Amino acid sequence: MEFAFYFSAGVAVISTLRVITNSNPIHALLYLIISLLAVAMCFFSLGAPFAGALEIIVYAGAIMVLFVFVVMMLNLGQTIVQQERQWLQPSSWTGPAILAAALLAELLYVLFGQSDTGAALGLSTIDSKAVGVSLFGPYLLLVELASLLLLAALVAAFHLGRHEAKEP
């Protein structure tokens, strides 16, 4: 499992560097998705499948879809469509595809590899029920404060956006 962790960490670092150095926003989003999947693989290799699944669902799923929608909404006109066709050549997908295939191979190695290595290292798997009991047990006040903070941010963003929409 140590190899799986370091391999996925290396993929995360490489893809994050590609996010930073890439000038094309679509390519940067593709590499960011690969980076988030690699971080999820780090969680899987450390014996935290629930945290890895949350990483995939919340970050690589929901937030990245919102980023793609924002990029799609900002593009206007026919010239942008031609520019996107030039950007999205099959050669632009080779880097993310290679990194994603490497992560898939690592996932299969972690899932179907030796299952007793975690016990030998003293690691144990934490299931979702234990996380829920911890969050809504001793940490209930912190969870509720975080939800109120997010609600306040949502209301503020709504009001700021609404006032800009009213101006001519």
The span from the CA of 67 to the CA of 72, in Å, is 9
Residue 12, pLDDT score: 92
How is residue 108 written in tokens?
A: 């299969």
Reported as half-sphere exposure (CB side, CA atoms, 13 A), residue 141 has a value of 1
The span from the CA of 136 to the CA of 88, in Å, is 45
* Res. 26 pLDDT band, cuts 50 70 90: confident
Find all residues with CB under 8 Å of 83, minimum gap 6, and list them.
none
pTM here? 0.56
Task: State pLDDT tens for residues 45-92.
Answer: 887 888 888 888 888 777 777 777 766 666 555 666 677 677 677 777
- Ranking 24-28, 54-58, 106-110, 121-125 by mean pLDDT, the lowest is 121-125
Task: State pLDDT tens for residues 114-165.
Answer: 555 555 555 676 777 887 888 788 888 888 888 888 888 777 767 766 655 4
Residue 76, pLDDT score: 55
